Amino acid sequence: MSVHPVEILRFNTCGSVDDGKSTLIGRLLYDSKNLMEDQIEALERSADITGGGQINLANLTDGLRAEREQGITIDVAYRYFATPRRKFIVADTPGHVQYTRNMVTGASTANMSVVLVDARLGVIEQTRRHSYIAALLGIPHVVFAVNKMDLVDWREERFREIRDDIEAFLPKLGVLKDVKFIPISALNGDNVVEPSPHTPWYQGPTLLGHLETVHIASDWDLTAFRMPVQWVNRPNNPKDHSLHDFRGLSGQVARGLVKTGDPVMVLPAGIKTTVKEIWTYDGVVQEAFAPQSVTIRLQDDLDVSRGDMIVGLENLPGMSSDLRAHICWMNSRPLQKGKKYFLKHATQTVQAVVTNLDNRMNIQTFEPEPEPAELAMNSIGEIRVRTAKPLIYDGYATNRLTGSFILIEQGSNQTVGAGMLLPPTEPVRPEYQDFAI
Amino acid sequence: MKSANAACTPRGVERPWPVLDKMSSYQLDHLQYLETESIHIMREVAAEFERPTILFSGGKDSICLLRLAEKAFRPSDIPMPFLNVDTGHHFPELNEFRDRRAAELGGKLIVRKVEDAIASGIAVPTPGEISRNRLQIPTLLAAIDEFQFDCAIGGARRDEEKARAKERFFSFRDSFGQWDPRNQRPEIWNVYNARVNPGENMRVFPLSNWTEMDIWEYIKREKLEVPAIYFSHKRPGGAPRWSVAAGDGYRSAEGKRGSARDGGPRPHHRRHHQHRSRRKPGYHGRRYHRRDRGRARNRAWFACG
């Protein structure tokens, strides 16, 4: 029996309180037969006791007891299920207004966002907020699942109305490459796994069908090579004498691909060399691509350490210590101008000072408000940062991994902000660009 | 499989599964994806912490953990020692396997025993309690203190239990070794905040995104040796189960989780025993729906038994 390779698709679900997120995830798990017998029995037991016979699918995913009592999910929770075609990692992100930071967290690694819209309420502030965050975080695929269609009698007009409302504001958000609308009822399972008999007017795929078939192979950007050096691999007193001179640079390819013999540049030094060997535990390979973790050996013995970046010669990244970025603030102590933080970007941690708050995004109008005094928790805005050492980076819209950073509060070590860099104004021009060894 | 077929096909169009015989050459399958993510995390630990350790029990998850450590750090030595908390209730074969595997890898193995912790008063048993899972915690914390570890890599997975679904890859512990689920650091992209102050430390779980099925598939793909005990022993009481080694059990008891539901630590395997009688012989209580059994059997665990 040949086993098909199985891909992983990561998605996050977002919606406001009571939009039925947990129910939807419960439904996906239940209908795609990913529950264990004992979980099903526990569900049925609780249905008999408290639910009047109706299974409460949300109970499957609401983790901590306190949350269940409050009826809200307070933190990002991760769920796993699989079909023969794909494996899914679900980031269940809470809907409460104050939990924007959780959606940013859940969305940061997602291929797809599933935004729940209550068919009765239509587009509300949360819908706009979630769409904005999905666009800001550069999520390649977005699905608007119009839920509770059973409560509006499965009227096609209502579905179209909501779709038109959303399509009216989407252009203001910038780039959303792939957007889909699906009418569902998470509670009854219509169009979640099985097509619904109630929507003869809807010809598209079910939600699971879409999750299984959406093209994600191109979500990784393979156009320009970047590998932040994570760890220098140099064996101490190896028994194998051939390893005495082994000096490898270990890291995860953040963008693009690289082949043995390719010319590369080491930044920030700006020294050119070539790739001698791509080493992995499973043997030497001829090429490596994002997001593989490999160990690269260079032709020349250079002084390279953690925080440096190996890049291809075409399409050079930016290099600067004066940066502009979108930031989502995640801490109850607001972001203030002039305050110092640690900034972690790729594998480098540097001191940074916020030199200016350029604007704060008004999620209602999608209009930026210039020069706010501070950014409170869950606000999103544009800031300027100066770092103690230059960063080697791409714009976030080009590449998530080389265009993102976190801010860490000094002292408490809390992660307080998630930053998305604006594109560099000009590519790096290293001092020694023409100095090949 | 009618439902699955219908799910990916627009209504009225009969279409077979869009079969994916080969990944595009620049795409990772699920195990490769999980592997690269875990390797990245292990290297972050090696680079960011002064004195990290890997918790190694000989259990299935920690077997995978060690292979991932090899993948992350070879051809160098694995730059951290292995730590095991021995309950004294481990099967001798498991301890033999643990010692042998650590020696094969050329790593330093530190073993701290619960009975020693009890003797020295670090761990205090509750009268009548037979399981020593709860006593692993003080033993582990004492070991962390003794060796001044600032980070311990463990093999816990988020799919093990609902309360763990919110656990981070880098899970911060205060100077009392406590986990506060309400005050976790947000974890965004793959940029991990590894900063701790003196006395505080971090638990890191590189297998967070792995499911139990992934673990067995990986064991098969990597041809990893699993102690024979996984497929043979019965514990007193007759229930077949895996040894609850530190990598599996210690964490559910630590801090506040575990106790929220049942007032004490509990190996996640136990809940299957009540249905054991309905299962086919040879099906050792692994947590899959019956639909998955045939598939799983073909693909994963029978091959490694």
pLDDT of residue A282: 94
Question: Would you give the DSSP letter of residue A57?
Answer: G
What tokens does B215 get? 């673990």
Q: Does the pLDDT at position B78 exceed 90?
A: yes
| Token pair 């001092």: residue | A431
Q: Does the pLDDT at position A78 exceed 60?
A: yes
Q: How many CB atoms lie within 10 A of CB B240?
A: 17
pLDDT of residue A243: 87
Q: Does the pLDDT at position B132 exceed 80?
A: no
Question: In whole angstroms, what is the distance from residue A287 CA to residue A58 CA?
Answer: 45
Indicate yes or no: CB of B18 within 8 angstroms of CB of A1: no
What tokens does B302 get? 């029978």
- Which of B3, B26, B44 faces A193 most closely, judged by CB atoms? B3
Question: In whole angstroms, what is the distance from residue A124 CA to residue A129 CA?
Answer: 9
Give the CATH number of domain A7-213.
3.40.50.300
| pLDDT per residue as tens digits for the range A235-266 | 987 888 888 889 999 999 999 999 999 999 99
Question: In whole angstroms, what is the distance from residue A261 CA to residue A312 CA?
Answer: 12
> Taking a contact as any Cβ pair under 8 Å apart, which residues of chain A between 216 and 235 contact chain B?
217, 220, 222, 230-231, 233-235
Q: Is A414 on the interface with B (CB under 8 A)?
A: yes
pLDDT of residue A71: 45
Contact partners, residue B214, CB within 8 Å, separation at least 6: A87, B30, B31, B34
Question: In whole angstroms, what is the distance from residue A303 CA to residue A211 CA?
Answer: 45
- Which of A2, A77, A250 faces B165 most closely, judged by CB atoms? A77
In words, the CATH class of domain B30-260+298-304 is alpha beta
| CA A82 vs CA A7, B84, B196, B210, B228: distances in Å | 10, 33, 36, 12, 29
CATH topology identical between A7-213 and A318-421: no
Indicate yes or no: CB of B193 within 8 angstroms of CB of A1: no
Average pLDDT over residues A375-380: 91
Q: Is B80 exposed, middle or buried (0-12, 13-18, 19+ CB in 10 A)?
A: buried
Question: Is the model more confident about A379 or about B127?
Answer: A379
- Average predicted confidence (pLDDT) for chain A: 87
What tokens does A293 get? 């973790």
Tell me the pLDDT band of B24, cut-offs 50, 70 and 90: low
Domain ranges of chain B: 30-260+298-304
Measured between beta carbons, the chain B residues lying within 8 angstroms of A330 are 186
Range of weakest confidence among A63-77, A162-176, B186-200? A63-77
> Taking a contact as any Cβ pair under 8 Å apart, which residues of chain B between 88 and 147 contact chain A?
none
Rounded to a whole number of angstroms, the distance from the CA of A337 to the nearest CA of chain B is 22
Q: Does the pLDDT at position B236 exceed 50?
A: no
Q: Does the pLDDT at position B257 exceed 80?
A: no
Q: Does the pLDDT at position A234 exceed 60?
A: yes
Confidence check on the interface: ipTM exceeds 0.90, yes or no: yes
Question: In whole angstroms, what is the distance from residue B138 CA to residue A187 CA?
Answer: 45
| pLDDT per residue as tens digits for the range A125-155 | 888 888 999 999 999 899 999 999 999 999 9
Domain ranges of chain A: 7-213, 226-312, 318-421
Rounded to a whole number of angstroms, the distance from the CA of A25 to the nearest CA of chain B is 13
- Which of A61, A234, A282 faces B76 most closely, judged by CB atoms? A234
Contact partners, residue B86, CB within 8 Å, separation at least 6: B95, B111, B112, B113, B114
* Phi, psi of B201, deg, nearest 5: -150, 180
Measured between beta carbons, the chain A residues lying within 8 angstroms of B263 are none
Rounded to a whole number of angstroms, the distance from the CA of B298 to the nearest CA of chain A is 9
Question: Would you call the peptide bond into B75 cis, given omega within 30 degrees of 0 as the criterion?
Answer: yes
- Which of B19, B36, B271 faces A293 most closely, judged by CB atoms? B36
Question: In whole angstroms, what is the distance from residue B70 CA to residue B64 CA?
Answer: 10
Closest CA to A137 of A10, A321, A308: A10
**Which string of b and e fits A246-257 if b means at least 16 CB within 10 Å?**
bebbbbbbbbbb
Measured between beta carbons, the chain B residues lying within 8 angstroms of A279 are 75
- What is the enclosing helix (H) or strand (E) of B54? strand B52-55
Rounded to a whole number of angstroms, the distance from the CA of A124 to the nearest CA of chain B is 26
In words, the CATH class of domain A226-312 is mainly beta
Strands B82-86 and B52-55: parallel
Q: Are A63 and A77 in contact (CB under 8 A)?
A: yes
| pLDDT per residue as tens digits for the range A8-49 | 999 999 887 777 887 888 888 887 766 656 666 666 666 555
Q: How many CB atoms lie within 10 A of CB B302?
A: 13
Question: In whole angstroms, what is the distance from residue A263 CA to residue A256 CA?
Answer: 14
Rounded to a whole number of angstroms, the distance from the CA of B117 to the nearest CA of chain A is 31
Question: B1 to chain A: nearest residue by CA?
Answer: A84
AA identity, residue B44: E
Contact partners, residue A282, CB within 8 Å, separation at least 6: B71
DSSP B227-241: -GGGGT-B-TTS-B-
| Strand spans (E) along B122-176 | 151-153, 170-173
DSSP B172-186: EE-TT----GGGPPP
Fold of the A318-421 domain: Elongation Factor Tu (Ef-tu); domain 3 (2.40.30)
Q: Are A230 and A347 in contact (CB under 8 A)?
A: yes
AA identity, residue B196: V
| pLDDT per residue as tens digits for the range A381-436 | 999 999 999 999 999 999 999 999 999 999 999 999 999 999 998 888 766 555 54
Question: In whole angstroms, what is the distance from residue B139 CA to residue B117 CA?
Answer: 6
Residue of A281, A329, A344, A380 to mutate, interface with B, max B Cβ within 10 Å: A281
Strand pairing partners for A63?
none
Closest CA to B62 of B45, B44, B85: B85
Average pLDDT over residues B153-175: 87
- Which of A1, A5, A250 faces B23 most closely, judged by CB atoms? A5
Most confident residue range from B138-152, B181-195, B252-266:
B138-152
Tell me the pLDDT band of A120, cut-offs 50, 70 and 90: very high
pLDDT of residue A20: 81
Rounded to a whole number of angstroms, the distance from the CA of A38 to the nearest CA of chain B is 7
Indicate yes or no: CB of B195 within 8 angstroms of CB of A108: no
Question: Is the model more confident about B261 or about A91?
Answer: A91
